[in-house]
Chains A and B, each alone.
Chain A
Amino acid sequence: QKEVEQNSGPLSVPEGAIASLNCTYSDRVSQSFFWYRQYSGKSPELIMSIYSNGDKEDGRFTAQLNKASQYVSLLIRDSQPSDSATYLCAVNDWGGGADGLTFGKGTHLIIQP
């Protein structure tokens, strides 16, 4: 049984600071890693995906992957109040399809104005 662990929070960060969200996973064969953002009562929205060790940047978001440590993180620079949401980490293995997509329970992020 694959497991994806996240600190549920809430994580409170001042506006303009860097928010750092972390995730660990149990299955070493995992190859695809995703961060979804979910506003209260809304659907998860894919914001980042990463497949190789290292960093991947997209605007204010940076995903970091360390397969040896089975660790994925998401950094949000210049945090804005609109970034306040729950962030879901998800992992998958190549060719597994989303039947193999395993979600963490999410970290609730609060950006304080």
Chain B
Amino acid sequence: DADVTQTPRNRITKTGKRIMLECSQTKGHDRMYWYRQDPGLGLRLIYYSFDVKDINKGEISDGYSVSRQAQAKFSLSLESAIPNQTALYFCATSDTRDRAARAFFGQGTRLTVV
């Protein structure tokens, strides 16, 4: 089983719909992140969380919100999906105790907004 699990793996949704992407981890890491990846643009940070009570905006947070339900769970919501949110979304984790802050990624969610 994957240490960092994302659901769903693929999703097609209509413009204006609310959608939630979920991430859970068994690595025991305290830090969790949401990235999106677009062709030619690389990985861009949407939100990150250092613990349950700590949520921070990343580079491209507009149009997104997050919830850290537990240390192991971090969900990303698109309140009103739009076509330019079509992308590959990754959840990642890291451990504060790891001074190098290595990041480990989930399998990804391919989201298409039509």
Tell me if A69 is interfacial: C-beta within 8 Å of chain B. no
CB contact between A98 and one of B33, B40, B88 (< 8 Å): that residue: B33
Which residues of B sit under 8 angstroms from A99, Cβ to Cβ? 31, 33, 45, 48, 56, 58
In the assembled complex, the Cα of A44 lies from the Cα of B36 at a distance in Å of 12
Across the interface, A49 reaches (CB within 8 A) one of B90, B94, B100, B106, namely B100
Cα of A103 to Cα of B105 in the assembled complex, Å: 13
Enumerate chain B residues within 8 angstroms of A8, measured Cβ to Cβ: 40
B20 at the interface (CB under 8 A from A): no
Any A CB within 8 A of the CB of B114: no
Most chain B CB inside 10 Å of its own CB: which residue of A34, A44, A51, A99: A99
Interface residues on B, range: 20 to 34
Q: Looking at chain B's contact residues, is the secondary structure mostly helix, strand, loop, or mixed?
A: strand
Alpha-carbon distance A42/B106, docked complex (angstroms)? 9
Say which residue of A42, A45, A92 sits within 8 Å of B100 (CB atoms).
Answer: A92
A96 to B50, CA, bound (A): 11
Interface size band for A: 20 to 34
A92 and B88 contacting across the interface, CB-CB below 8 Å: no
Q: Using Cβ atoms and an 8 Å threshold, which residues of chain B touch A96?
A: 101
Q: Does B73 interact with chain A (Cβ within 8 Å)?
A: no
- Closest residue of A by beta carbon distance from B45: A99
The residue on A at minimum CB distance from B29 is A98
Query: Are A101 and B108 in contact, CB atoms less than 8 angstroms apart?
Result: no
1-49 of chain A: CB within 8 A of chain B: 8, 32, 34, 41-46, 49
Pairwise interchain contact B99-A49, C-beta atoms closer than 8 A: no
- Minimal beta-carbon separation of B50 from chain A (angstroms): 7
| Complex interface: chain A residues within 8 A of B40 (CB) | 8, 105
Which of A34, A42, A43 contacts B102 (CB under 8 A)? Answer: A34
Contact string against A for B residues 72-114, beta-carbon threshold 8 Å, 1 for contact and 0 otherwise: 0000000000000000101010101001111111111010000
**Complex formed: what's the CA distance from A51 to B98 in Å?**
13
- Jot down 11 A-B pairs with beta carbons below 8 A, ordered by A: A32-B100, A32-B101, A41-B110, A42-B107, A44-B90, A49-B102, A97-B31, A98-B92, A98-B94, A99-B45, A106-B42
